[in-house]
């Protein structure tokens, strides 16, 4: 009886995976184009800030349509945003943790070889799976754990770039680098699963949760703009280097961010990780045609591992519910007798 429903659920998850993969790949390709074709590079920190603002405005618009009337819309904002400082504080946690993650990742890259960084940073994939098990009380089959680590290896190979010899001596602190990468990996897993737990632990609208998170996200990104590029922005302007292509990239990032929250709400963060890996493969293949990128043996092997891992993770797990229910019913009959 449950088979048709399970098939619909699986198809929905595959649909979410496919759409998110295409959107992420399109964003990556467009971003690469803007960073290689525009002579006057824009400030990436301001682009991130504007993306947060657009996601906030889109969420407000969707919430207004969802509530159906201006009165209910105002009441929802008053109750869940303006009148709920604790909820705002709760949703500020992912924004702050992601900010720490980005800074730790940059610190790790500055103190580790690129190859070591590429390998160790992919540990965020099994870390997300571990956080899902611990924080959401879920279980993964042995085959799913194998697919998670296979995905980790596949992404590493897909992004692998041979180290190039250089005469420039860079002073690095490997201990500091590994400490930073460990914090970044933990932050990545925790923030994503924390947001998923908040989304699924109450009946509060997804778009209300997005508004709560993006408000704190705007504040965090504005601080990042000031600390990273404050002096240059004051000299050149906030929108320096912006073109139509840059605005297109920001639009893709905004819509992709909203869709990511939908994927997390109705699937999980592990599926999001598989989608991100598939997007890397798809965008790299597209880059071969658009930018003349050369396919390597490691990329081909990594792509194979990613595809196999996605297939293995999506295999239906053995359903023992009916057996357990039968055993429970027999026990109840014995007790009744």
254 assigned to some structural domain: yes
Whole-Å CA distances, 101 to 10, 94, 175, 235: 32, 10, 17, 29
327 assigned to some structural domain: no
- Number of domains present in the structure of the chain: 1
> What tens digit of pLDDT does each residue of 300-323 get?
888 888 888 877 887 665 432 233
308 assigned to some structural domain: yes
Burial class (CB in 10 A: 0-12, 13-18, 19+), 196: buried
- Tell me how far apart the alpha carbons of residues 123 and 188 are, in angstroms, rounded to a whole number: 10
241 assigned to some structural domain: yes
Q: What mean pLDDT, rounded, does the chain reach?
A: 79
Determine the pLDDT at residue 104: 87
- Tell me how far apart the alpha carbons of residues 123 and 30 are, in angstroms, rounded to a whole number: 27
Determine the pLDDT at residue 332: 45
> What tens digit of pLDDT does each residue of 196-240 get?
998 888 888 889 999 998 998 899 889 888 888 888 999 989 988
190 assigned to some structural domain: yes
Instruction: State the pTM of this model.
Output: 0.76
> What tens digit of pLDDT does each residue of 21-73 get?
777 677 667 766 666 655 556 777 888 889 899 999 999 999 999 888 888 88
CB 272 within 8 A of CB 264: yes
**Structural domain of residue 194, as residue ranges?**
10-314
5 assigned to some structural domain: no
- Tell me how far apart the alpha carbons of residues 185 and 182 are, in angstroms, rounded to a whole number: 5
326 assigned to some structural domain: no
- Tell me how far apart the alpha carbons of residues 280 and 43 are, in angstroms, rounded to a whole number: 23
114 assigned to some structural domain: yes
């Amino acid at each position: 009886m449950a088979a048709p429903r399970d098939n619909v659920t699986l198809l929905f998850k595959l649909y979410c995976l496919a759409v998110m993969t295409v959107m992420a790949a399109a964003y990556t390709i467009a971003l690469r184009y803007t960073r290689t074709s525009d002579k006057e590079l824009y400030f990436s920190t301001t682009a991130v800030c504007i993306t947060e603002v657009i996601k906030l405005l889109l969420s407000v618009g969707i919430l207004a349509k969802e509530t159906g009337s201006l009165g209910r819309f105002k009441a929802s904002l008053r109750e869940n945003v303006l009148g709920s400082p604790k909820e705002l504080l709760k949703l500020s946690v992912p924004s702050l943790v992601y900010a720490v993650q980005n800074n730790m990742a940059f610190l790790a890259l500055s103190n580790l070889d690129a190859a070591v960084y590429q390998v160790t940073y992919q540990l965020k994939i099994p870390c997300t799976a571990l956080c899902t098990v611990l924080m959401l009380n879920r279980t993964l089959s042995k085959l799913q754990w194998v697919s998670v680590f296979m995905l980790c290896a596949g992404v590493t190979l897909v992004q692998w770039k041979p180290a190039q010899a250089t005469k420039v001596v860079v002073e690095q602190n490997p201990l500091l680098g590994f400490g930073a990468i460990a914090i970044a990996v933990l932050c990545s897993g925790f923030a994503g699963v924390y947001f998923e737990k908040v989304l699924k632990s109450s009946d509060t609208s997804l778009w209300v949760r997005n508004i709560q998170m993006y408000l704190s996200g705007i504040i965090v990104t504005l601080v990042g703009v000031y600390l990273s590029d404050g002096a240059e922005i004051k000299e050149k302007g906030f929108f320096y280097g912006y073109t139509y292509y840059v605005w297109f990239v920001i639009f893709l990032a905004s819509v992709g961010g909203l869709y990511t929250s939908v994927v997390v709400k109705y699937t999980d963060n592990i599926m999001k990780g598989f989608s991100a890996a598939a997007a890397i493969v798809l965008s790299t293949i597209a880059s071969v045609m658009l930018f003349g990128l050369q396919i390597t043996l490691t990329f081909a092997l990594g792509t194979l591992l990613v595809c196999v891992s996605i297939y293995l993770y999506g295999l239906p797990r053995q359903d023992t519910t009916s057996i357990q229910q039968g055993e429970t019913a027999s026990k109840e009959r014995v007790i009744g007798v």
